Structure 1
Amino acid sequence: MNNTHNKMDYIIQFCACANLRKAARSVTQAYERKMESTGLKVTQYYMLVNIARHDKISISNLGDVMLLDQSTVTRNVNVLKNRGYVNIAKDISDSRTKSVSITEIGLAKLEEATPIWLQIQGKIEKDIGQEKYQDLLETLKKLQEFVEPYDR
Structure 2
Amino acid sequence: MEEETPQLDRAALRAFADACACSHVRKAARVITQVYDTFLQPSGLRMTQYTVLVVIALSEPETVMLLAEQLAMDRSALARALKPLEEQGLVLVEPGSDRRTRVVRLTERGQQVLTETHPYWVQAQEQMMARFGAQRMQNLLAELKNVETLEELA
TM-score tier by shorter-chain length is 0.7 to 0.9
CA distance in 1, matches of 2:151, 2:95: 35
1:94 Cα offset (Å):
2.6
Is 1:16 aligned to residue 28 of structure 2? no
- Structure 2's unaligned 5+ residue stretches are 1-8
Is 1:50 aligned to residue 63 of structure 2? no
Matches within 5 A, 1:45-84: 45-84=50-89
Q: Which of the numbers 105, 130, 133 marks the counterpart of 2:134?
A: 130
Structure number with higher helix proportion? 1
Moved more, 16-25 or 120-129: 120-129
CA deviation map 1:112-143 (0-9, x unaligned)? 11100111112112321111111111212223
TM-score (norm 1): 0.87
Identity of aligned residues (%): 33
Moved more, 63-72 or 140-149: 140-149
- Structure 1's unaligned 5+ residue stretches are none
RMSD: 1.6
User: What is the aligned residue count?
Assistant: 146
CA distance in 2, matches of 1:88, 1:147: 26
